[in-house]
Amino acid sequence: QKEVEQDPGPLSVPEGAIVSLNCTYSNSAFQYFMWYRQYSRKGPELLMYTYSSGNKEDGRFTAQVDKSSKYISLFIRDSQPSDSATYLCAMSVNTPLVFGKGTRLSVIA
Amino acid sequence: GAVVSQHPSRVICKSGTSVKIECRSLDFQATTMFWYRQFPKQSLMLMATSNEGSKATYEQGVEKDKFLINHASLTLSTLTVTSAHPEDSSFYICSAPKSPGEAFFGQGTRLTVV
């Protein structure tokens, strides 16, 4: 079993939809959880950063961490075509980060 | 958010030559930086950990003599691809943690070896 599992997609949704992206992990020692957005041929951009369990909201983005289930989620509300990108989950005990494979998202206008 | 600057963003070089890629943390100090390689439609693969003032730590299977890493200061790490060959063509990305677990990435460098 890989340390971090993430469905690679692709995921295609209409503009305005709520998007749910998820990752599962096996290492119970992970305590830092991140979501990155990566546009083609660009470096990953940090979207959300969460320490331990709980929810965090930033604009249209909500990150959830359920350590008991070893499951993290990123929700995107009112999705826009500009949200089309690859979304990478990442987590760590300290450093370095362990990444999921990334989910390719397309938001269709 | 914190800024990590990577340069150049794109480079084409001839086979057998060396290429240096710079990674700078612009608004925070980083005693550790990370270098990744990314193949098309794949996730990031950690190559090595760059440590300020000491030797880099390389992941299994990464050639130390091929990928030279120097962490000259608390804000600068460099990756030099030596005697580059076409199979070294890839997207190289650096990252620096501002705090435990909170890592910021550079813009990436697309290397093409012809």
State pLDDT tens for residues A28-77. Answer: 999 999 999 999 989 999 999 998 888 999 999 999 999 999 999 999 99
Residue range B10-23, pLDDT digits in tens: 999 999 999 999 99
Rounded to 5 degrees, φ, ψ at B88 are: -85, -10
Give how far B108 is from chain A: nearest CA, Å: 5
Q: Is A26 left (phi over 0), alpha (psi -120 to 50) or beta?
A: alpha
Residue contact B101–A96, C-beta within 8 A:
no
The per-residue pLDDT for A96 is 83
Mean pLDDT score of chain A: 93
C-alpha angle B92/B98/B99, rounded to 5°? 125
- Chain B residues whose beta carbon lies within 8 Å of the beta carbon of residue A67: none
Residue type, B19: V
User: Could you say which of A44, A91, A94 has the minimum Cβ distance to residue B105?
Assistant: A44
Residue range B80-101, pLDDT digits in tens: 999 999 999 999 999 999 887 7
A108, B104, B7, B113: CA torsion to nearest 10: -70
What burial class does residue A89 get, using C-beta atoms within 10 Å of its C-beta: 0-12 exposed, 13-18 middle, 19+ buried? buried
Q: Which residue has the tokens 């440590």?
A: B51
- Nearest chain B Cα to A88, which residue? B43
The per-residue pLDDT for B41 is 81
- Nearest chain B Cα to A45, which residue? B105
Comparing B40-44, B82-86, B110-114, the range with the smallest average pLDDT is B40-44
- Nearest chain B Cα to A104, which residue? B41
